[in-house]
């Protein structure tokens, strides 16, 4: 990946963590499990929070507005608290 693609991915991961922290409040505790995969030249991150409760539509909208252009594909499950990101390097960077 180019430096620009890595920086885009870093920002998308930051935003994914913000989504997973949504609605927890200051006193709430939650573990966040993160799995990184690299297969067939594609990077994938899957992150899940242990806390109960839905992620707000506003948090999902924020992620979409900021990070949707930074990754190739993403999924968010607001009711189960997980995010999956996928990014494939451009052909020029492989």
Q: pLDDT (tens digit, 9 = 90+) per residue, 35-68?
A: 999 988 899 999 999 988 889 999 999 999 999 9
Least confident of 18-22, 48-52, 89-93: 89-93
- Per DSSP bridges, beta strands 73-77 and 32-39 are unpaired
Mean local confidence (pLDDT), 6-15: 94
Closest-CA residue to 36 (of 90, 75, 93, 87): 87
Residue 48 DSSP code: E
| Paired tokens of 29 | 């505790």
- Per-residue model confidence (pLDDT) at position 89: 84
What domains lie within the chain, and their CATH numbers? 3-88 (3.30.565.10)
pTM for the whole structure: 0.85
What distance, in Å, lies between the first and last C-alpha atoms of the chain? 7
What is the SS3 assignment for 85? strand
Cβ-contact 8, 70 below 8 angstroms: yes
What's the pLDDT band for 27 if we cut at 50, 70, 90? low
């Amino acid at each position: 990946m180019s430096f620009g693609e890595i920086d885009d991915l870093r920002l998308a991961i930051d935003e994914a963590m913000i989504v997973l922290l949504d609605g927890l409040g200051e006193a709430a505790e939650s573990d966040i499990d993160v799995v990184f995969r690299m297969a067939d030249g594609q990077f994938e991150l899957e992150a899940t929070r242990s806390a109960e409760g839905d992620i707000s539509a506003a948090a999902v909208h924020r992620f979409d507005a900021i990070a949707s252009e930074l990754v190739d594909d993403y999924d968010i499950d607001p009711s189960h608290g997980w995010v999956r990101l996928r990014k494939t390097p451009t052909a020029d960077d492989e």
